[in-house]
Amino acid sequence: MNIAILFGGSSFEHEISIVSAITMKKVLKRSTLTYIFVTPQREFYLIDTGKINSKLFSSGEYKKSKQLFLKKGGFFTESMFGSKKVSFDVALNLIHGRDGEDGKISSLMEFFSIDFISPRMEASALSYNKLYTKFLAQSLGVKTVAYEYLSKNDERKISMDYPVIVKPVRLGSSIGVSIVRAKDELDYALDVAFEYDTDVIVEPFIEGVKEYNQAGCYTDRWELSIIEEPHKEEFLDFEKKYMDFSRDSQVLSADISTEIESKIQECFKKIYNPLFNGSIIRCDFFVVEGEVLLNEINPIPGSMANYLFSDFEGMVERVSKNLPKEQSITVDYQYIHSIQSAKGKA
Amino acid sequence: MNIAILFGGSSFEHEISIVSAITMKKVLKRSTLTYIFVTPQREFYLIDTGKINSKLFSSGEYKKSKQLFLKKGGFFTESMFGSKKVSFDVALNLIHGRDGEDGKISSLMEFFSIDFISPRMEASALSYNKLYTKFLAQSLGVKTVAYEYLSKNDERKISMDYPVIVKPVRLGSSIGVSIVRAKDELDYALDVAFEYDTDVIVEPFIEGVKEYNQAGCYTDRWELSIIEEPHKEEFLDFEKKYMDFSRDSQVLSADISTEIESKIQECFKKIYNPLFNGSIIRCDFFVVEGEVLLNEINPIPGSMANYLFSDFEGMVERVSKNLPKEQSITVDYQYIHSIQSAKGKA
């Protein structure tokens, strides 16, 4: 199968998307990969799979590659001799953060009729925004950590006890996130978070909380990964996250009871189905006093969470054969015809 | 000002979008209009403003117009002599239903850096889906009509009393909507709604309920329209809606108390601010026993609800001068540089 990897994007996570994309070479071994780079200025370049490495981007050398243009049905090169379509079977959206996770790339793929693996628009809008994720979870009967919501112009007052964790609502990879241990640190943490976003959520910081990651998708059946207990520092900063985005070998299952395991799986399925059809996502859960709480949805997880699956490549193929279809709409202009004939009679 | 009117789209409301677009000629008199038609197959055509009429589309004659292509910064014509940008100051998204209201057009405009008047992506995702509108209203402290939610594969059972109204969650213009007076009619109404959507909401049908429409936007100040009490049949079917989409002259204010008026205005502002910045929307409210309930958000109202404003054209100009700006993101490749130097040292 020929898989187009879309990566980069106009995002604070542009650089780790490059790391994720390069990692795919190690895990999608049977497939032909077509690398399509989205620059920070949102131009498209076709990157030679044989030559891809991180320096190609940091040096700006990628600009020597062929530029691509989006049109009906695909990406095209353009030259004096006309335009030529870049051939692939499916696009894999690997753009972390803005553009990739907020629904823009999904909109582009749907609008231009390109088959793609990614959460669709609605799923993106709800999972990219941590506040909306809370609404979604609530409506599906999935418990979440308690939270308060603050917008940039709101009074900077919270009612929960310290320590708390402050998060910009729209970013991943721990960017702009702070732990606040006392009231006099809140202001600075909010300054940091509001650097990145107009809205934040504040949650209680639960010292030593048990965290578990579950990835998966629905193809013609449920394909759930093993559950991992990530070995974290207090929480991962951006530098340390490099490990996550370049991981390519399978890890061990967390040591948890079958009861907790099935609770986590059940929550994952509730969140996923059917909103996330066509995508491979990772959900991060907390377990507090035997109760499973959704912490975050990672709609485009680092290196697609490949390290949690025993047959990642096979699964990618099965997802691509079970993509959700857009409803077909026929416009027959009956309505306009009837207005015209009504006018004609008048 | 030169305003590009985007209309048509791959939508059940394609034809009434054409009616809305043509109406703009009568209400945007000072402006130069650049008509960009989006075909049901999602191709773009530049339509001659002098020649626009509904027959141009129903006859297929529009295909003789110049085809346009979306690229960084705008819409372009392409020929043997290169590509040429179509010049305008701002695009007005007038595509009702899918593509226009679901966030696709907004995604395209943002991605390709085109100034546009329309709800942005998040606002679109939340207002296009009537279930998510309920979440949004709840979170903002705006009351809504009670509801039950049914997905296509759910058991067809509701617990509220009849009569009820069944609505596909993602459509406007009353498409697929039915009033159900007794249990034995529910199945047929659901069949109709599920023709158009995978999900429906069911609400109590309140006989003779008072309905009021409030349109508006925030420019450098609040610009709220008069409040109209629409004169409706039981509810508007698709044919009767033609009246709404071709309206071009101002109507009279509803006869309501100042108390209800300010309650409606307050609810409108809560919903709008700041999520809908950059757009002109209409919210439809019910008043039940002195209480204001949000019925629906119309993110792209028929003919932009121009008939509710005394200075519609001036307002469009002010919106275009107060569009929300995307956060600028600079990618400096510091992170990749640091990985490379770490590797070099190892």
ipTM of the complex: 0.92
Q: What percent of chain A stands above pLDDT 70?
A: 94
Q: Which residue, among B32, B112, B39, has the nearest Cα to B76 in the 3D structure?
A: B112
Is the confidence at residue A144, as pLDDT, over 80? yes
List phi, psi (to 5°) of B124: -65, -50
* Single-letter amino acid code for the residue at A199: D
C-alpha to C-alpha distance for B129 and B125, rounded to whole angstroms: 7
The predicted pLDDT at position A172 comes to 67
Percent of chain A with pLDDT over 90: 78
Does CATH number 3.40.50.2300 belong to domain B2-118? no
DSSP string, A246-298: T--S--PPP---HHHHHHHHHHHHHHHTTTTTT--EEEEEEEETTEEEEEEEE
A30: tokens are 């049977």
Contacts of B125 in chain A (CB under 8 A): 103, 121-122, 124-126
Nearest to A298 by CA among A331, A272, A321: A272
Q: For B179-220, what is each residue's pLDDT tens digit? A: 999 999 999 999 999 998 889 999 999 988 999 999 999 999
Touching check for A76 and chain B: CB below 8 Å?
A: no
Concatenated DSSP letters for B168-208? ETT--TTTT-EEE-SGGGHHHHHHHHHHH-SEEEEEE--TT
Distance CA A73, CA A70 (A): 8
pLDDT (tens digit per residue) in A192-234: 999 988 899 999 998 889 999 999 999 999 999 999 998 765 4
**Measuring CA to CA, how many Å separate B141 from each of A147, A176, B72, B269, B294?**
16, 28, 40, 12, 11
Size of interface A-B (CB pairs under 8 A): 151
Tell me what pLDDT residue B207 has. Answer: 86
CATH superfamily of A148-204: ATP-grasp fold, A domain (3.30.1490.20)
CB within 8 Å: A12 and B329: yes
pLDDT (average), residues B86-99:
97
CATH of A125-143+207-320, one of 3.30.470.20, 3.40.50.300, 3.20.20.30, 1.10.1040.10: 3.30.470.20
Give the number of other Cβ atoms within 10 Å of residue A313's Cβ. Answer: 17
Confidence label for A310 from pLDDT (cuts 50, 70 and 90) = very high
- Once rounded to an integer, what is the mean pLDDT over residues B55-64? 96
Q: Which of A104-108, B107-111, B235-239 has the lowest mean pLDDT?
A: B235-239
What are the extents of the domains in chain B?
2-118, 125-144+207-320, 148-204
- DSSP secondary structure code for residue B144 in this structure: B
Taking CA atoms, what residue in A is nearest to B242?
A339
Fold of the CATH domain B125-144+207-320: D-amino Acid Aminotransferase; Chain A, domain 1 (3.30.470)
Residue A40 touches partner B, C-beta closer than 8 Å: yes
Does the pLDDT at position A147 exceed 50?
yes
In the numeric block, which tokens belong to residue A22? Answer: 């390069």
* Closest alpha carbon to A309 in A218, A217, A225: A225
Q: Determine the residue among A12, A13, A15, A53 to mutate to test chain B binding: the one whose Cβ has the most chain B Cβ atoms within 10 Å.
A: A15
Measured distance between the N- and C-terminal CA atoms of chain B, rounded to whole angstroms: 60
Confidence of residue A346 (pLDDT cuts 50, 70, 90): very low
Residues of B in contact with A58 (CB under 8 A): 333, 336-337, 340
User: Which of A10, A58, A111 shows the shortest C-beta gap to B336?
Assistant: A58
* CB contact residues (below 8 A), chain B span 202-261, against chain A: 238-239, 242
Instruction: Dump pLDDT digits (tens) for B281-300.
Output: 999 999 999 999 999 999 99
Q: Is B336 on the interface with A (CB under 8 A)?
A: yes
Binning pLDDT at 50, 70 and 90, where does residue B346 land? very low
